[in-house]
Amino acid sequence: MLEYDFMRTAFAAGGIVAIVAGAVGFFLVLRSLAFAGHALGHVGFAGATGSVLVGIDPLWGLLAFTIAAGIAMGVLGERLRGRDVAVGIVLSFALGLGVLFLYFYTSHAAQATAILFGNVLAVNAGTLRALAALAAVCLGALATMSRPLLFATLSPELAEAKGVSLRLISVLFLVVVAIAVAEAAQVVGVLLVFVLMVAPAAAALRLTTRVASGVALSMALALAEAWAGIALAYATDWPSTFWIVVTSCTVYAVAVAIKTVVPD
């Protein structure tokens, strides 16, 4: 399997994206913002398809739209809560806009499918380098802000009293989430980005209550699920996204079962 260049590139891309998704996803779930990953994926679809329309790599359009949406979500903060209808309409509009862009550029239907559902086996060397650079930025930013982020997550009132800007932390964190979503979409697509961002982190939170071990476990699970999905895709000739989703859901179900059998 590893004799082929495209498989080595796929494993490298899957590994980079999984590590970022696992680390960021842990804080995403801890902050009860799982919807943000799903929402940013929807918004990013319009950016990716718009980039295809003007002849730019979809990754950069996806990244631009998700970062802009992440900043908007962070600025609005609490005002987004309880506005499910408004948020749903905005997300539907973003998907509709993406469909319109595809209508004007139907010759790239295969590329549109990859944007929606991912295709890690099609990642090239240039995209791999971009993913590595974005991962370094994402993980570096997360490491820098991890302490105030954790403080603001677990004790927001006390953190604010100590001078921590909750809005600034929210904006910066959602920018990091946006970068992670843009990367994860290269592996599982914008429609299924939720599974790689949330499932490993949710499973880790079921199995441990310690932050450091939780982050490490989330990253390890995401990495194992991504690599298992790629290997199973090679063995069966079925889509890698399908196998990543199956393994992620299975691991989460096992974590839930373990937590049920062995409660705290």
For the whole model, what pTM was predicted? 0.85
Contacts of 213 (CB under 8 A, 6+ apart): none
Look up tokens 């820098």; give the residue: 144
pLDDT at 51: 80
Structure tokens at 71: 């900043």
Q: Are residues 254 and 224 in contact, defined by beta-carbon separation less than 8 angstroms?
A: no
Q: Using one digit for the tens of pLDDT, what is the confidence trace for 197-222? A: 889 999 999 998 888 999 999 999 99
d(CA 60, CA 259) in angstroms, rounded, equals 40
Contacts of 60 (CB under 8 A, 6+ apart): 51
Binning pLDDT at 50, 70 and 90, where does residue 21 land? Answer: very high
- Least confident range of 74-78, 109-113, 176-180, 198-202: 109-113
More confident residue, 247 or 62: 247
pLDDT at 218: 95
Q: Using one digit for the tens of pLDDT, what is the confidence trace for 156-208? A: 888 888 888 888 888 899 899 888 888 888 788 777 787 888 899 999 999 98
Look up tokens 């680390």; give the residue: 23
Q: Are residues 251 and 221 in contact, defined by beta-carbon separation less than 8 angstroms?
A: yes
Structure tokens at 93: 């509009």
Domains and CATH numbers, the chain: 5-261 (1.10.3470.10)
- Residue 227 reports pLDDT greater than 80: yes
